[in-house]
Chain A
Amino acid sequence: MSVSRFWRKIPQRYNLVGTQCTTCGRHFFPPRSLCPDCRRSGKIVDHQFTGEGTIVTYTVIRSASDQFEHTTPYVLAVVELDEGPRLTTQVACSPEEAKIGMRVKSVFRRIAADGESGTIHYGTKFVPAE
């Protein structure tokens, strides 16, 4: 991922800043600039998520793309945030620990890097809440 492409989403990736449609109240993460329900009549503002949620489903990645191969095995999950939206994230726990329905909370972590001398991509992972 190019530097500018990564950089422009730093607030979203580092701090879980998404958006909300103030017309209907719906929250979005990943952020959307158009509400799919209200479309052009929706008003979109930034929204800071609490970072607490629940695992909807998960897997353990054993075979990854080159960028992630050195970190296998890792737990990948769909997490439903308490505010409603769902996102795809790594859960920093052992493969045996992950469970559907498990409570998790967001943490700041290194995600990947563009080779040995490229940009290091930081972002949000989740860890077991208890």
Chain B
Amino acid sequence: MRDVAVIGVGCTEFGERWGTSFRDLFVKAGALALEDAGVTGEKIDALYVGNMSAGRFVEQEHIGALIADYAGLATNHVPSTRVEAACASGGLAFRQAVIAVASGMEDVVVAAGVEKMTDVGTGASVDMLASAADREWEGFAGATFPGLYAMIANDYMHRYPLTREQLAQVAVKNHENGARNPIAQFQNRITVDTVLNSSLVADPLRLFDCSPITDGAAAVVVVPLDRAREFTDSPVRVLASAQASDTISLHDRRDISTLDASVAAGRRAFAQAGLTHKDIDMVEVHDCFTIAEICAIEDLGFCKKGEAGRLTADGATALNGDIPVNTSGGLKACGHPVGATGIKQIYEIVSQLRGEATGRQVDAEIGMAHNVGGTGATVVVHILGA
């Protein structure tokens, strides 16, 4: 296998982009990534696109071809493949691009992610997102996505020391980071009271425990490491690419409060890279809900089960903490266009490792990305190094 490097990244502004279409979003992200990489279209060997549900959000399938077409690559007949794993679609698209380059099959590959979510109403969005869980046996009973994570939170708080205030601190910290990120959907600071006074969505989770509905796209370019210097002076190496599966339903998990797929993907990634959690300087985790960040920190091995709430309240996960978590603002504040999130995580890590994260820069040489599909049925973990 060949070593792989990221040579360019691009990301649209995340938010409620009423004036921008599905295809406008990915064209913008792709152009930014190619510009950053110094790559022209005719050099591209393949495209991998993460997208969860364009079929239901904008009634469009055949996304791979649409993207190749509007990116100006159809006349070159560049192969383009859509990748879907619910909210982990972006991370998985990146992994497919890495595998394509590592295998020797392709040289210059674009991994992108895109989701246009605001063309349908909130109720319809809630219903679509619930299809990341088991439609027949969770959705049928009235399970919503916040509801499933709320059941994780209730189980967790029943068994481990985590206060409602500590949970709120996750959102406060992520809004603080989002306020420093020009692409973030929410660039406003909040307090613990903001979270605790917001409306209940699914007990104990409140509105400010939840990531928003977002439009956005992100793209990155990967090449063999030994060719990276042809394009850039600051390539970022892919040190590990790992993926794990678990039961589709939350009720079938070994442990409601542990995402075993996070544990497995994390361990595989550390083994591939020959690193431990102590070597990681910053991590982008999948905080679709505040409780998800708590679980992720523990499941990836940054602390023991039951300790992440205190760690968060003590500031260890803040920008100036021991292990900065979600410097981008995470899904909570940066926004969560489901298919794009996993690529945005790579974008954020590359920005940090290249020292370009103005306003939220941390001292980092190695970063980790953790992207979850559903309630943990798919987890994708990457480790990148400057």
Contact = CB atoms under 8 A, between A and B. Distances in A.
Contact of B124 (A9, A62, A66, A111): A66
Interface centre among B146, B151, B152, B158 (most CB of A within 10 A): B151
B155 A95 contact: no
Contacts, number: 104
Interface stretch (B130-138, B235-243, B259-267, B316-324): B130-138
Given A57-B155, A76-B141, 13 more contacts: A30-B134, A56-B155, A57-B158, A58-B151, A59-B203, A60-B202, A64-B126, A66-B126, A74-B142, A88-B143, A89-B141, A90-B141, A123-B141
A9 B140 CA distance: 12
B276 interface: no
Nearest to B146: A63
A13 B136 CA distance: 10
Interface string A83-112: 000111110000100001000000000011
A111 B140 contact: yes
B351 interface: no
B214 interface: no
Interface residues of A, number: 34
Contacts of B126: 63-66
B256 A88 contact: no
Contacts of A43: none
A53 B143 CA distance: 19
A71 B123 contact: no
A112 B142 contact: yes
Nearest to B200: A62
23 contacts: A56-B251, A59-B147, A59-B151, A59-B153, A59-B154, A61-B147, A62-B200, A62-B203, A63-B144, A63-B199, A63-B202, A64-B126, A64-B142, A64-B144, A66-B123, A66-B127, A90-B141, A100-B154, A100-B155, A111-B140, A111-B142, A112-B142, A121-B140
Interface of A: 1, 9, 13, 30, 56-69, 71, 74, 76-78, 86-90, 95, 100, 111-112, 121, 123
Interface of B: 121, 123-124, 126-127, 130, 134, 136-138, 140-144, 146-147, 150-155, 158, 199-205, 249-252, 256
Contacts of A69: 123
A95 B154 contact: no
Given A87-B137, A90-B141, A62 B151 contact: no
B154 A57 contact: yes
A76 B250 CA distance: 13
A119 B341 CA distance: 37
A121 B140 CA distance: 9
Given A74-B142, A111-B142, A88 B251 contact: yes
Given A86-B252, A88-B137, A57 B151 contact: yes
Contacts of A63: 126, 144, 146, 199, 201-202
A65 B250 CA distance: 19
A56 B146 contact: no
A65 B147 contact: no
A64 to B, nearest CB: 6
Contacts of B153: 59
A9 B141 CA distance: 13
